Amino acid sequence: MAARIPVLLQTPYEVIVGHEILARAGEFIAQLRPAGKCGLVTDSHVAPLYARTVEDSLAAAGFEVTTVIVPAGENSKSLARTEEVCDRLIAGGVDRGGFVVGLGGGVVGDLTGFVASVYYRGIPHVQIPTTVVSQVDSAIGGKTGVNSRGGKNLIGSFHQPALVITDPATLASLPKRDFNEGVAEMIKHALIRDVEMLDELEDFTRADLPTLIARNVKIKASIVAEDEFEKKGIRAQLNFGHTIGHAIENAAGYGRYLHGEAISLGLAAALFLSVKKAGLEASAADRILRLLQAFDLPVRLPADIPVEGLMDAMRRDKKFEAGAIRFVLTSRLGSAFVSKDITAEDLREAILEIGK
């Protein structure tokens, strides 16, 4: 049975979570959209596994589908790929009355959402996430974007999906490393909003996935509903570990670390600063570090990633406002807050600490 989780924004939508519901995608979308033309954007890894199922489902619901397959990997999050996808949709006759579906992980979701936000000055999009990271985090909340040479997600927009369809059965095809990187976002959610979920993660089995994913979706949906455009400092709590994590992704070169692996390193650094600056008990930080390591996630930074390279990357981060650092800390597990008391020297010390 599928759970329907509302995301209560000015224009609300639902996240539908259910085991083996992928073949019902067309049925769910048809409840919102009249029959017509649409685009299906996926990548070269996901397409052989799930594209036909979604294409057939959309066709059965009366939609005419143009499928665009992009190369798997972070390099597809670019303006050049955005233009290519738009050209393919134009050639397929998808107009302002159509919509686009993103089938894949965070890269496909971010790219598809960004395409939808600019195509014909904005058309609806549906997210069908197929990785842990995208199912518990990136598919919800409306942040879309592509990368530039200067950093990750620096070109983007807020464009909420019309619907998110989440099938935990798609996670069975993930390699262990790709599965585990997504758990970093679950740990982050527990750390900032739901301390009791740490117990579940410490006793994790794959049979727990549907309820665990729904629990994470509710956390993300509630935070987004409180602060859709990240103006109140509430949604920024979701960036716990991401300031340094994104810098590591950038400085290490996209591909060396998966997103969740870089975030794991960022969490380790943020925990160090939380102990030093926010009064978090060292035993609580150690608990999170042990949990990250239980999922084979890194907590130590290799020596070949230069500190100054990370500092330069962070200065270009969207979380810096007029040069000031907005950094998320926690004083106790299950809560978080945005601090403006973290200095560049604090960041440098945290990086050196996780590099020991």
How does pLDDT run across 238-289, given as a tens digit for each residue? 999 999 999 998 888 877 999 999 999 999 999 999 999 999 999 999 999 9
Mean pLDDT of 188-193: 98
Assess whether pLDDT exceeds 60 at residue 322: no
pLDDT at 190: 98
Least confident of 54-63, 111-120, 246-255, 311-320: 311-320
Mean pLDDT of 123-147: 97
Mean pLDDT of 93-112: 97
Least confident of 56-60, 218-222, 340-344: 340-344
Domains 3-173 and 176-354 belong to one CATH topology: no
| Residue 153: its H or E element | strand 151-158
Cβ 59 vs Cβ 26: under 8 Å: yes
pLDDT in tens, 44-92: 999 999 999 999 999 999 999 999 999 999 999 999 999 999 999 999 9
Note the CATH number of domain 3-173.
3.40.50.1970
Mean pLDDT of 107-126: 98
3-state percent breakdown (helix, strand, coil) of the chain, nearest 5: 50, 20, 30
Across-strand partners of 43?
A: 70
User: What is the percent of the chain with per-residue pLDDT over 90, rounded to a whole number?
Assistant: 87
CA distances from 82 to 71, 132, 154, 280, 356 (A): 12, 24, 14, 43, 40
pLDDT at 150: 82
pLDDT at 1: 80
Higher pLDDT pick, 298 / 231:
298
Mean pLDDT of 104-124: 98
pLDDT category, 319, cuts 50, 70, 90? low
User: What is the percent of the chain with per-residue pLDDT over 70, rounded to a whole number?
Assistant: 98
Q: Residue ranges of the alpha helices (H) in 134-281?
A: 176-193, 197-202, 209-226, 242-252, 259-278
Assess whether pLDDT exceeds 70 at residue 318: no
Domain ranges of the chain: 3-173, 176-354
CA R_g for the chain: 20
- The architecture CATH gives domain 176-354: Up-down Bundle (1.20)
Least Cα distance to 267 among 215, 161, 192, 170 occurs for: 192
pLDDT category, 320, cuts 50, 70, 90? low
What residues contact 351, with CB distance under 8 A and at least 6 apart?
A: 244, 269, 301, 307, 310, 311
Mean pLDDT of 178-188: 97
pLDDT category, 151, cuts 50, 70, 90? confident
